[in-house]
Structure 1
Amino acid sequence: MSNPARNRITLHVDMDSFYSSVEVRERPELKGLPVVVGSDPKEGKGRGVVSTCSYEAREFGIHSAMPISRAYKLCPDAVYLPVNMKLYKEVSENIMDLIRIFADRFQQVSVDEAYLDVGNGIDDYESATLLARKIKDEVLRKQGLTCSIGVAPNKILAKIASDFDKPDGLTVIRPEDVESFLFPLPVSKIPGIGKKTRLILEDMDTETVGDLASMDVQLLVARFGKSGVVMHQLANGIDLREVREREEVKSISTEDTFEEDIFDPAAIRNVFFELTDKVHESLSRKRFRFRTVTIKVRFEDFRTYTRAKTLQAASTDKQAIIRTALGLMDEFIGKGRFRLLGVGVTKLEKIDERQTLLNDFF
């Protein structure tokens, strides 16, 4: 029996260098210049990382998540701007409202990318390509920004396609072209295969997607566990996930990178109190209770650790977060200086508003 999802057409819309593009739109005099959005570089002594950068900056080797000090060394003459998340979210909402109307089902997955299922109204790739061009034109005309779009039989292929010809690209993968398009690509083009996994695969004489697709899946399972099955399916262009209208909130977290490394227990406690306030405020606003508290710790030498503890019952108590976080932190106190600390909550449960009202009444 055929799976209807395989016959549907999926679009992945990905805004081009979103933060920096918005900044250039707001300040046209920056057009054509290397623009870096992120932490203050402080003439090469700053802490933190690059959030995103313009394509002109990428020509110097700068990329997102790079230490801002490294970016400054590569291009000290770039325009360095702070992150203006309020502005980016406003622009994102306008863009998502604009492209949502073109989809039968719509799934926003980040501030600058979304999936569109257009299978009900459009059943051929010529029409889907015309629709993608229409979306690109509308986003450029109404928002003054470019996006890249992938058109394909499923989500994983559409995402790979949208990244294939950036910026301002449009790449179409028809079902009959999946293998010829996908197999020559390096395995790192599959989302989720990072540097460590790529190096392991290279040791297994697996460098291209085609190599991975033709491997004995049992060998992959032996090395990667259940993830090996998923990797093998994706390499063969198989992705049965559907475009979902709403992405479930799975965690709420925040973190802070310090201008100077900290080690004093009192200072650490103060940081956790501040981070917990932010997490709890978001938790309350979104009407969730939590079961698990997590912390993230990064030492001055960039060693990074996470720890988590699950409570016996779901809670909304801010003090439970701070007590658990500080308890988890005991393992690391006195073992070095910290450049980053983070707090989060997971295993979220939506609060039943009706039950809350009954409890308030009685």
Structure 2
Amino acid sequence: MITRAIPGFCRDCLAEAGEGPRCRACLSPRLVRHPELNSLSIAHVDCDAFFAAVEKRDNPDLRDKPVIVGGGRRGVVSTCCYIARINGVRSAMPMFKALKLCPEAVVIKPTHGKYVAVGRQVRAMMMDLTPLVQPVSIDEAFLDLSGTERVHGLVPARTLARFARRVEAELGITVSVGLAPNKFLAKIASDLDKPRGFAVIGAAEAQEFLTHKPVGILPGVGAAAQARLARDHITEVGHLRQLDAREMARRHGAHGLHLWNLAHGHDTRPVRPERETKSVSAETTFDEDISDPAQLAAVLWSLADRVSARLKAAEFSGTRVTLKLKTPDFRSRTRSRSLETPTRLAGRIFETGRDLLVKEANGARFRLIGIGVEDLHPLGDGDPPDLMDPGLPRRIAAEKAVDDLRRKFGAGILDRGISFAPGVRLPRRREPD
């Protein structure tokens, strides 16, 4: 009886894995073996502890220290390195709790522009592999490498391993790869072997792998959905497979039928190269609640300026401005106003947001403020000539001059006068992811 060897290779040198725990060519223990390794082409790539990894890359003194990227004591953890995670720190954890768990951690305020730049470099490397790249966030994406073997001379699994090596060598950060027959399983796989991971979930093993996993592992199943499913005695993925598809649809609608399919390891969603951006926003959480309208306006300006920069970078303008406020008891208030024409100008975004803020800043205290632009249009549609606003061309030219200076000398070279108004003390604040 002939036993076929399980396909495998070394993730460091791409040599055949052979037998044994180490690569015969380079002695690396980083081998990947799987019966379906050479036939799978859907991947999920996720940068490891992305913000913290970029900060450690740029400051080698932080290499062996726990690092938390986030805001002040009233903010939350944006990202933390794996050393901090050993101490129990997690993303989205309140900062005071994170520092209680890991008091020796180095806390760094996020520098979003730097992370965006590195994220774009990673995205460009992904595009070298396949045009079918679907971004999920700044540091992760789905890829479909079907039919790329002729182009790269390698099966998708080896192409992805070579890509991971390239990211580490050229950008100084690491990624984890999940390879599977569909997006759902690929996303799960990418979390199995972090950091610097490469995990595979094949079609043949999918149902067995999922059986005893909690239903919360399924996309779209948050705390509320888990509670609803628990009322039907569904707490594990395997419980879903015990139900008839029609019964699942009757109880939980179209979403229930989708979950039933996922529980069987089926996911027909394609990797879509473009993901529609619906809004661009920025928000910040204060260390101390603020009621002073002047202070709130000063912070609002900095957020409007940031949103404007992001709109320009993404080549968007928008016609709907939304103000977001959160009270000390965590109640959210959102107020919106539509503009007659799209804008990408910080001044117009701020003025609209300020008008909305005036009606809310009536002595109430707030722990968070944010502003966003929706109903997006191409950048070229923004701020068309307006006979009723003869000063518009001058303001456009002024913002362009400021943008040019910032690109040349750094983002902090110029700020608007409101930020330095008498009596206005800008609070420490958490920048969002």
The alpha-carbon distance between structure 1 residues 163 and 307, as it changes in their structure 2 partners (threshold 3 A), is same
Question: Are 2:51 and 1:15 equivalent residues in the alignment?
Answer: no
Q: After the TM superposition, which of the residue ranges 60-69 and 142-151 deviates more from structure 2?
A: 142-151
Q: Out of 107, 120, 132, which is 1:80 matched to?
A: 107
Partner secondary structure for residue 11 of structure 1 = strand
Q: After the TM superposition, which of the residue ranges 31-40 and 246-255 deviates more from structure 2?
A: 31-40
Q: Out of 361, 371, 378, which is 1:350 matched to?
A: 378
Contact 1:116 1:243 in 2 (8 A): yes
Gaps of 5+ in 1: 1-6, 41-45
Partner secondary structure for residue 348 of structure 1 = strand
Q: How does 1:254-273 map to 2 (within 5 A)?
A: 254-273=282-301
Other-structure match for 2:62:
30
Other-structure match for 2:238:
210
Other-structure match for 2:194:
166
Gaps of 5+ in 2: 1-38, 388-433
Q: After the TM superposition, which of the residue ranges 238-247 and 67-76 deviates more from structure 2?
A: 238-247
Structure 1 residue 47: deviation in Å? 2.2
Aligned equivalents of 1:120, 1:136: Cα separation in 2? 20
Structure 1 residue 261: deviation in Å? 0.7
Question: Are 2:286 and 1:251 equivalent residues in the alignment?
Answer: no
Residue deviations 1:242-271 (CA, integer Å, cap 9, x gap)? 223333221111112123211234444444
Q: Out of 170, 187, 201, which is 2:229 matched to?
A: 201
Other-structure match for 1:135:
163
Question: Are 2:211 and 1:179 equivalent residues in the alignment?
Answer: no
Question: Are 2:91 and 1:64 equivalent residues in the alignment?
Answer: yes
Letter in 1 for 2:56: V
Other-structure match for 1:3:
none
Contact 2:311 2:344 in 1 (8 A): no
Residue deviations 1:188-219 (CA, integer Å, cap 9, x gap)? 22233223332332333222222234445666
TM-score, scaled relative to structure 2: 0.68
The alpha-carbon distance between structure 1 residues 104 and 280, as it changes in their structure 2 partners (threshold 3 A), is closer
Q: Out of 122, 126, 131, which is 1:99 matched to?
A: 126
The alpha-carbon distance between structure 1 residues 218 and 252, as it changes in their structure 2 partners (threshold 3 A), is farther
Other-structure match for 1:47:
74
Q: After the TM superposition, which of the residue ranges 262-271 and 161-170 deviates more from structure 2?
A: 262-271
Q: How does 1:277-356 map to 2 (within 5 A)?
A: 277-283=305-311, 286-301=314-329, 303-305=330-332, 307=334, 309=336, 311=338, 315-316=342-343, 325=353, 333=361, 336-350=364-378
Contact 1:307 1:328 in 2 (8 A): no
Aligned equivalents of 1:308, 1:216: Cα separation in 2? 44
Question: Who wins on radius of gyration, i.e. which is larger?
Answer: 2
Structure 1 residue 50: deviation in Å? 0.9
Partner secondary structure for residue 156 of structure 2 = helix
Contact 1:160 1:190 in 2 (8 A): no
Contact 1:251 1:348 in 2 (8 A): yes
Question: Are 2:173 and 1:145 equivalent residues in the alignment?
Answer: yes
Contact 1:295 1:328 in 2 (8 A): yes
Aligned equivalents of 2:248, 2:354: Cα separation in 1? 39
Structure 1 residue 62: deviation in Å? 0.7
Letter in 2 for 1:288: F
Aligned residues: 344
Query: In angstroms, what is the RMSD of aligned CA positions?
Result: 3.5
Aligned equivalents of 1:100, 1:317: Cα separation in 2? 28
Letter in 2 for 1:206: I
Partner secondary structure for residue 205 of structure 2 = helix
Letter in 2 for 1:35: V
Aligned equivalents of 2:93, 2:208: Cα separation in 1? 33
Letter in 1 for 2:134: Q
Structure 1 residue 239: deviation in Å? 2.9
Contact 1:13 1:147 in 2 (8 A): yes
Structure 1 residue 168: deviation in Å? 1.8
Contact 2:134 2:271 in 1 (8 A): yes
Aligned equivalents of 1:55, 1:184: Cα separation in 2? 27
TM-score, scaled relative to structure 1: 0.80
Structure 1 residue 120: deviation in Å? 1.1
**Percent of aligned pairs with the same amino acid:** 37
Aligned equivalents of 2:207, 2:165: Cα separation in 1? 30
Letter in 2 for 1:88: Y
Aligned equivalents of 1:20, 1:312: Cα separation in 2? 38
Question: Are 2:136 and 1:109 equivalent residues in the alignment?
Answer: yes
Contact 2:43 2:144 in 1 (8 A): yes
Structure 1 residue 222: deviation in Å? 6.7
Aligned equivalents of 1:77, 1:175: Cα separation in 2? 44
Letter in 2 for 1:316: T
Aligned equivalents of 1:57, 1:217: Cα separation in 2? 43
